[in-house]
Structures are given as C-alpha cells and as structure tokens.
Amino acid sequence: TAQFGGGRAAELGGSPQPESDAAADESLNPVPKEVLVPCLPPNADELSEWLSRLRGSRVALRVPQRGAKRALADTVHRNAVEALQQHKLRRAGDFTARSAALQNIQESLGLVDAPLRIECVDISHVQGTDVVGSLVVFEDGLPRKSDYRHFAIREAAGDGRSDDVASIAEVTRRRFLRHLSDAGPATDGDGTTHAGEAGAGPPPVKQRRFAYPPNLYVVDGGQPQVNAAQAVLDELGITDVAVIGLAKRLEEVWLPAEPDPLIMPRNSEGLYLLQRVRDEAHRFAVSYHRSLRSKRMTASALDTVRGLGETRRKALVTHFGSLARLRQASVQEITAVPGIGVATATAVLEALGATGTETTETETETETETGTGTGTSASDTDPVGDDQAERPVGDDQAERPVGDDRAERHDG
C-alpha cells in the first residue's frame, strides 16, 4: 500500500510518502528485521547479534504464539513437511525405476541374477591416433566413479590406424587379468603373501578395486566387438560374467555367437539404463582422449623452438594446459614459468604463430564404426592430462545409494 501510494503521488506530481522509501529500503536488505523460528536455538543471542551486524540494525529472533505470524509459521512448517515427503517419493521412485531396469535386463538377457554391477568399455581415437579406452562401472543402477579407469591402447594401435575389435580385446584382457590378480592372496608392497601369519597384526595390503567381477560386461559395438570380448574371457577361464554389445545404429543388443541381435522395447527401463552406461563410457573415453591429443599437439608445436629442451617444454605444457591457451599468453605470462626467459618466450610465440595450425577450443567430434560397432573419435583442446595409462585424476563426485561420493581414476 505504501509503495502504491508513493507511486500515485509521484504520478500526480506530489512527493512520495515516507513509508514508501522505508518499504523500498526494507525490500533491498537481504536480512529481515525479524526472523520467526519454531523454537529458539541455544545460541540465539549470538545468532541475533551476527544477523544484526549483517543487516546494520537490530534483528530479532522470535517464536510466534498467536495471530498472523503464528499462521505464517504453521504454513511454512506444512510446506517443509510436504517438500520432505515429495523428496522421499522421488527417491523411492528412482530406486523403483532402477530396480525395474535391472530386473528388465535380467529377464531380457536370461541372467541368473540381476546385474547389480555393470561395466562398459568404449574406445576413442581420431583417425587411428591417440587411441584410448575407457571402463565405467555402475552399481545398483548408479555410476561408481571411484572404479572408472582409462587405458592407453598399446598393442592394437599404431601406424595411423585403429583396430577397434583388437582394442576391445586388449582392454578386456587387461581388466580381467587385474581381476584375477586382485582376487588372489593379499600381498604387501614387496610382493610378500600374507595368509594368516601367527602372532602378527593385519598387514598393509594393496587396495583391490578389481577383485570383484561385473555381473554384466557391456562393450560399445556389435557382433565383432562382443565376440572379441567373449573370446578373451574364454581364454582366461572366466565363466561367470555375461557379455553383451550395444550398437549405436539401432540400439541393438548383441550376444556372443548369436547371428541376430536382441531388440529391447524402446520404452524399456532396461534399455534406457544400458544406454546411460554406454553414453557414460563414451564421455569418459572422449575426455581422456582430448587431454592426450591436446598434450601431443602442444608438444609437437614446441619442438621447433630452438633452445627449448624437453624439461621446459613439459613445464609449459603443464602450466598452460593447451595449445590455445599458450598461444593467447603474453611474453610476461610465459616468463612466469620457471626457466623461461624473455627471449625463449618470444621464440615460443613466434613458433606457434608460424605453425599454421588452426586449433580451436571446440573441434567437431566424429565417430567411426567397425562393422556395427564402436570406434568413437573426438578432438578438442581440453586441459592436458598425463599421457600414461591408468593414472588417478581429480575428484568428481557421483551420487551413491548410501551417500558415498567417489572420484574417477585412471587405472594404476
């Protein structure tokens, strides 16, 4: 009412009412002059003093007993109770949907048990270079990022080409060899086996992240890829892991040694979960591939700088992270890197300007398929990572059923 009266006064050429200015000032202050609470906290005086300092005037904490303020407090309480109930229903709905998805996968694939642990492999490269693989893990239908792994492909890459089927086989072999190793007796750092030594406390043991095999192993691809993964498991004598391939083309589910794919309904919760797992593996592979490619391109461009040795090249790569950022840096910013002087910094900028390489922060991702399958390729100049396979990376939190936030890692 005060604001309306002030507006009318201004419209009619009069002066605004004083209460209008007071109301405007009150609306701009983030701290109210009175806070209604259901009960006073033990440190009510300290809290009131702190709020008063923020507001610049006295702030009172009160428990309303009757009238409009009590009605307002009751409304807020009811809203909070309803919001909590809705949150619980959403959580229950999510759990119900995940349970339905796992049951649907079990029934569709004829599994003995629901696939509580699902692992998926994807391969990423650009025209056969910087070939990497990713392994993502879902437990109870949710990502378990602490068990994620990157693999730099060794045997199946080279000569500017990529064999996606061989890459899938290599990642599968390395993953399950680790499983067989981790499932053995516990060892400490010097390889000594500890199996119930008398008179000694529990020895320090290595963390066994691959000790448990997945219930379902998914490869991004079709019949050739799934047959390659199954052949590796047969070779290693692993018979308790189900293998399938999920092809992008028609979202077909391929089973080992089956001539035709399994077609799951488009609205299937199980298919939706498999797609989420596959897409997460693709994202994780692309992120690692981009970091390797960016580092390689940056190091290659710096090879032409006279007097810039390997140590200082690595220092520049580590400091700036990408070729684009290094190109945008000034001489003063480059000289901030230890061991880099003005002359070298100037030579670095001249060399980058003379390379003629047009590298942008967002390059188009392309995808290639072998048969019906995999072989994702991508390029970008994201911050540079380590070019070694299976190294720990930074903390990325993921929702866990019991609130366990974990981090993505490279396999070590």
CB neighbourhood size of 107 (10 A): 11
Q: Which residues contact 61 (CB under 8 A, 6 or more apart)?
A: 35, 37, 40, 41, 44, 47, 48, 51
The pLDDT score that the predictor gives to residue 96 is 86
Q: Which pLDDT score, from 0 to 100, does residue 245 have?
A: 94
- To which H or E segment does residue 230 belong? helix 223-236
pLDDT at 364: 31
Report the DSSP pairing between strands 129-139 and 117-126: antiparallel
pLDDT the model gives residue 223: 92
Which pTM was predicted? Answer: 0.54
Pairwise CA distance, residues 121 & 281, whole Å: 6
Give the Cβ contact number of residue 274 at 10 Å: 27
Q: Determine the Cα–Cα distance for residues 1 and 320; give it in Å rounded to an integer.
A: 58
Q: Where in the chain is the domain with CATH 3.30.420.340?
A: 97-181+211-289
Closest CA to 146 of 210, 216, 217, 220: 210
Q: 176 with 229: CB under 8 angstroms?
A: no
Fold of the CATH domain 97-181+211-289:
Nucleotidyltransferase; domain 5 (3.30.420)
Per-residue pLDDT of the chain (412 residues; tens, 9 = 90+): 333 333 433 433 444 455 555 555 566 778 888 999 999 999 999 999 999 999 889 999 999 999 999 999 999 999 999 998 887 767 656 888 899 999 999 999 999 999 999 999 998 866 556 688 899 999 999 999 999 998 888 776 555 445 889 999 999 999 999 888 876 654 444 444 444 444 444 554 455 567 789 999 999 989 999 999 999 999 999 999 999 999 877 789 999 989 999 999 988 889 999 999 998 998 888 776 566 666 666 556 677 677 788 788 778 878 887 777 888 888 889 999 888 888 888 888 887 773 433 333 333 333 333 333 444 444 333 333 333 333 333 333 333 333 344 444 444 4
Fold of 305-352: DNA polymerase; domain 1 (1.10.150)
Residue 299 CB neighbours (<10 A): 17
Q: Tell me which residue has tokens 């945008």.
A: 328
First-last CA distance in the chain? 68
- Pairing status of strand 117-126 against strand 60-62: unpaired
Closest CA to 384 of 297, 319, 323, 322: 322
Q: What is the pLDDT of residue 196?
A: 40
pLDDT of 327: 80
Two tokens at 32?
């109210």
Radius of gyration, CA atoms only, the chain: 30
What was the pLDDT predicted at 72? 94
Question: In this structure, how many other beta carbons lie within 10 angstroms of the beta carbon of residue 68?
Answer: 8
The whole-number pLDDT of residue 23 equals 54
